[in-house]
Amino acid sequence: MKIGNVHIETPVVLAPMAGVTDYPFRILCKEMGAGVVYSEFVSADGIIRENTKTLSMIRFEESERPIGIQIFGNDAETMGQAAKYVVETFRPDILDINYGCPVPKVTKKGGGSAALQDLCLMDDITAAVVESIPETPVTVKMRVGWNQLSIVVPEVGERLEKIGVKAIALHPRTTKQRYTGKADWHFIKLLKESVSIPVIGNGDVCTTDDMMRMFDETGCDAVMVGRAAHGNPWFFLEAKARLNGEPNPPSPSLLDIANMCSRHFDLLLENRGEQTGSNLMRKHFSNYIKGFPGASGFRQKLVTAPGLAEIRSALNEFVDTVQKVEWD
């Protein structure tokens, strides 16, 4: 698959997720075979103000390519300026516009999926971004509409393609649904049939069986994976094997999980510092350590450990215990 001039080797991509898809998580998923990784969504206002924390969310390593940086905002001029700044300063492969976030603190300010209520504003923002970075492919991640009475797919796909968007990722729920109910993949199929640019399906892909079914049922060009990758970067290894017609790789052993936890934690400490890295890792421990005897005890120790030394001690205990089990 190609997005504009960017070649995507494996059509399974890591979704942008706030508080999750930072550098440490992206690099682990990339190493496991993710075809594209996306940053957390980044505020256009913060970008043009050159806010230090905001800009730190954009920085990436060459080994992450191809990478997309996702931005959000409610003003066309600001979004255009932000897109230009990101491309000139960081040179990502793809610039993505967030029209999908359903969180009220974002939509109340007109960002994210609030644009689905005003397609003229969506057109203006999209055009401003596309015109500001003519050499970089612009993609969009969106929902099907604000609510069930205002579905905008597939019609909006044609508008976005005419403006110059090079691919659309569709999460087929409405804003009001948030993450409840069932993602209606039928809308992915309708969107694919209405445009000539690549369509990336997203929503309720929990296993590689789901991934294959989404490809079959919708005809989408790629599948975007979000929550299924939490604590499971191996998802991309299995997905790549299935798409290549190869045998499924063995499921990760407890030692694999323990080692991945340690590596993820080290990357977070290096990238985000001791306090922030330790706090961020707690939710990842919860995602990694589950589904085996004794998991809840290890998970509880790691999640509630008060500081770095205690986390290290609990993590070392987990690794040591797992190694003994493996050797036995």
pLDDT tens-digit series, residues 113-166: 999 999 999 999 999 999 999 999 999 999 999 999 999 999 999 999 999 999
Q: Are residues 272 and 238 part of one domain?
A: no
Residue numbers annotated as active site: 101
Whether residue 61 is found in the same domain as residue 107: yes
Enumerate residues 6+ apart whose C-beta is below 8 A from 175.
102, 107, 113, 114, 116, 143, 145, 146, 147
Number of structural domains, the chain? Answer: 2
User: What range does the domain containing 109 cover?
Assistant: 2-243
> Do both 190 and 295 map to the same domain?
no
- Residues 262, 204, single domain; the answer is no
pLDDT at 328 > cutoff 70: no
The answer to whether the beta carbons of residues 223 and 183 sit under 8 Å apart is no
Give the whole-angstrom CA distance, residue 173 versus residue 236. 24
207 in a structural domain: yes
How far lies 307's CA from each of 3, 298, 303, 312, in Å?
Answer: 44, 16, 10, 9
- Identity at 229, one-letter amino acid code: A
Q: What values do phi and psi take at 174, rounded to 5?
A: -85, 165
- Per the domain annotation, does 248 fall within a domain? no
Domain harbouring 314, CATH code: 1.10.1200
For residue 160, the domain's CATH number is 3.20.20.70
CB atoms within 10 A of CB 272: 18
Query: Are residues 321 and 203 located together in one domain of the fold?
Result: no
How long a stretch of residues is the chain?
328
pTM, two decimal places: 0.94
Q: Are residues 166 and 282 located together in one domain of the fold?
A: no
Evaluate whether 175 touches 116 at the Cβ level (below 8 Å): yes
Amino acid at 179: Y
Identify whether residues 168 and 303 lie together within a single domain. no
Task: Check pLDDT > 90 for residue 322.
Answer: no
Phi/psi at 120 (nearest 5 deg)? -65, -40
Q: Is residue 233 located within the same domain as residue 266?
A: no
pLDDT tens column, 239-282: 999 999 999 999 999 999 999 999 999 999 999 999 999 999 99
